[in-house]
Amino acid sequence: MTKQKSVIEKTPASAAEPDKYLRMYQQMMSIRIFEEQVNDLYTRALMPGLAHLYIGEEAIAVGICSALRPDDYITSTHRGHGHCLAKGASPDRMFAELLGKEAGYCRGKGGSMHIADPATGNLGANAIVGGSAGIATGAAFSAKRLGNGRVAVCFFGEGALGQGLLYETMNLAQLWKLPVIYVCENNTYNEYTHYSETTAGDVLARPKAFGIQAERVDGQDVRAVYATANAVVERARGGNGPAFLLCDTYRYRGHHVGDVSREYYRSKQEEQKWVSERDPIKLFSDWLIAHKLATAGQLQTMNAEVKSTIDAAVQFALNAPYPDPLEVQQDVYA
């Protein structure tokens, strides 16, 4: 939990983009409330299957995606709701997909772990750990070859650091100077195992060994993530190759919504310490108020608006029809 030196400290902490910051706050709050509603739907047995909540990690998705253009690409993970929302997905169609409804982003065929949306550059959330490293790198390959100036971001958790594909594609990305940003969200746990038990050596030394620019960022500080993302995204867009961001964060909840008894792998005190001292939304709202970019009252109003949008999205999804079973054989082939 030590504070990391990052690009933000080299950049003036100006309030040059107040509207952008307020938008970032709103997005973080949307993800938080969205995920709380997912947990609620699961607990009330209204959602088929499971979901992996992003609560506690909101600053990373929002900080990164705020540095992207609408036509830039992302790939996401099984813990992907935050990435999809931050890239511009609409909560109502997200919930519809989580409930397996026809109005969902994938017409109910993907579910929580496979939200994909070409309109927002979302190449798809991926339920194979590290499985999307090739897809993101390939999107960057297309961007470079087609000269459209796009950048691709590959989100993955620290659990993916054990997967060979990541290193194969980082090698290709640096060889060919592809505009791809590898964003490692170290939420401290590979499922139920502390990452220190699975990860040898210095993580940043791995991308650095390929010559890839690598930065460690405080993943609870959305401004730090945003500033660092801006720097490496623009660098990549300018043809200077890939970057790797290691974002330190913490998964407040279990590996999935059903993982509620967690004492056998981590203590309640540890969880509480992150929640009370390092909450990304609390840290950001304190900063916004201290720098007079918002009042507490304005933020509360914003929270209420977000809550009502999310509540409406849940209702939309609950009321939406399921797909016709005859659709099961559609879209196996294009």
Partner 1 sequence: MSTLDVKTAMAPSATERELTLGEAIREALAEEMRRDPRVVLMGEDVAEAGTVFKVLTGLSAEFGTDRVIDTPISEAGFTGLAIGAAMTGLRPVVDIMFGDFIALVMDQMANQAAKVHYMSGGKWKVPLVMRTTLGATRRSAAQHSQSLHAWFSHVPGLKVVLPSTPYDAKGLLKSAIRDENPVVFFEDKMMYKLKGAIPAEEYTIPLGVADIKRSGDDITLVATSSMVQVALGAAKMLQEIGVGAEVIDPRTTWPLDEERLIESVKKTSRAIVIDEGYARYGATAEIASVIAEGAFHYLDQPVKRIGAMHVPIPFSPPLEDVTVPTEQMVFEAARKMCGKS
List contacts with partner 1 (CB under 8 A): 73, 75, 104-110, 114, 116-118, 123-124, 126, 128, 131-143, 145-146, 152, 164-165, 168-169, 171-172, 175, 330-334
Give min distance, CB of 204 to partner 1, in A: 21
Q: Which is nearer to partner 1, 242 or 280 (CB)?
A: 242
Give min distance, CB of 111 to partner 1, in A: 9
Q: Which is nearer to partner 1, 33 or 116 (CB)?
A: 116
Lookup: tokens for 281 = 């939304």
Going by C-alpha positions, the residue among 39, 15, 28, 7 that lies closest to residue 83 is: 28
- Distances in Å between the Cα of 296 and the Cα atoms of 20, 61, 204, 280 are 18, 24, 38, 16
Going by C-alpha positions, the residue among 163, 159, 167 that lies closest to residue 189 is: 159
Give min distance, CB of 156 to partner 1, in A: 13
Q: Which is nearer to partner 1, 180 or 299 (CB)?
A: 180
Going by C-alpha positions, the residue among 33, 60, 75, 275 that lies closest to residue 186 is: 60
Give min distance, CB of 241 to partner 1, in A: 15
Give min distance, CB of 173 to partner 1, in A: 9
**Do the Cβ atoms of 57 and 248 come closer than 8 Å?**
no
Q: Which is nearer to partner 1, 125 or 229 (CB)?
A: 125
Q: Which is nearer to partner 1, 94 or 231 (CB)?
A: 94
First to last CA, the chain: 47
Residue 216 gets the label, from left (phi > 0), alpha (psi -120 to 50) or beta, of: beta
Q: Which is nearer to partner 1, 205 or 332 (CB)?
A: 332
| Contact partners, residue 326, CB within 8 Å, separation at least 6 | none
Give min distance, CB of 76 to partner 1, in A: 12
Give min distance, CB of 93 to partner 1, in A: 10
Q: Which is nearer to partner 1, 68 or 140 (CB)?
A: 140
